[in-house]
Structures are given as C-alpha cells and as structure tokens.
C-alpha cells in the first residue's frame, strides 16, 4: 500500500517536499508526472512546480502488484497589486484588477 501524503500549498518560486509513505521498503516507487521533481523514484521528493499539479505516486511490489495514490500541489502566485487605476472609459486600467486574488480566499483587503 502507498500513500502520497497530504496535499501541499507552496508559494510561487518555492519548493516543498511530498510526504509519501510506503508500508513495505521493498516496493519500487515512481511518481508521475516527473516534471518539477528532484527525483521520481524516491518516497519524499522535493517538488517545485510552476502551476497547480496533481502528482500520482505508484508503488510496484512483488508479482507486479501495483498501488497508487494522488497528492495535489497548489502553487500560490505572487500578488501584484496595482497602485492606481483610471476609470475614464479608455479601456486601459479602467478596473482595479488583482491577478490571482482568487487563490487567496481568506484575504482581507482595506482601501
């Protein structure tokens, strides 16, 4: 049996560690996708994705038996808060838009 560990939230440009667990040390591990992983064959690889990614941890044991589990890595994009806007109807900066703000559901903003 394999367990890919708890979901992970990291800031853009940072790394985290996937906290996989296996019950049998003889099980061969493969993570997919292998992109942004320090290794796709260790139980606890370092991960540095650039966007939200679901990783699958596969464990292969004796007799070709296989088990798998998934873990979601959420990448919080850095907020770039505009310091001005000009609602004059020219189509340029008419609205005060903060990209990726939806990734921060508990954000409290005061103006």
What is the DSSP annotation of 24-65? -TT-EEEEES-TTBS-SSSSS-EE--SS-EEEEEEEE-GGG-
Rounded to two decimals, the pTM is: 0.79
Residue 25: band (very low, low, confident or very high) from pLDDT cuts 50, 70, 90: confident
pLDDT digits (tens, 9 = 90+) for 29-68: 999 999 999 999 999 999 999 999 999 999 999 887 999 9
pLDDT of residue 46: 98
- Which residues face 24 on adjacent strands? none
pLDDT of residue 81: 83
Supply 76's token pair.
Answer: 């919080």
pLDDT of residue 7: 97
C-alpha distances out from residue 37 to 46, 58, 67, Å: 6, 15, 20
Report yes or no: 10 and 73 within 8 Å, Cβ to Cβ.
Answer: yes
Q: Is the pLDDT of residue 111 over 80?
A: no
Please state the rounded mean pLDDT for residues 73-90.
88
User: Three-class SS of residue 101?
Assistant: helix
Supply 48's token pair.
Answer: 């540095």
């Amino acid at each position: 049996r394999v367990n890919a560990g708890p979901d992970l939230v990291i800031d853009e440009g940072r790394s985290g560690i996937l906290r996989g667990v296996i019950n049998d040390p003889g099980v061969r591990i493969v993570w997919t996708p292998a992109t942004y992983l320090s290794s796709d064959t260790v139980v606890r690889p370092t991960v540095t994705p650039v966007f939200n990614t679901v990783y699958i941890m596969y464990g292969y044991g004796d007799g070709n038996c296989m088990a798998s589990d998934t873990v979601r890595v959420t990448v919080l994009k850095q907020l770039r808060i505009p310091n001005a806007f000009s609602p004059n109807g020219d189509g340029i900066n008419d609205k005060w838009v903060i990209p990726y703000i939806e990734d921060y559901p508990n954000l409290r903003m005061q103006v």
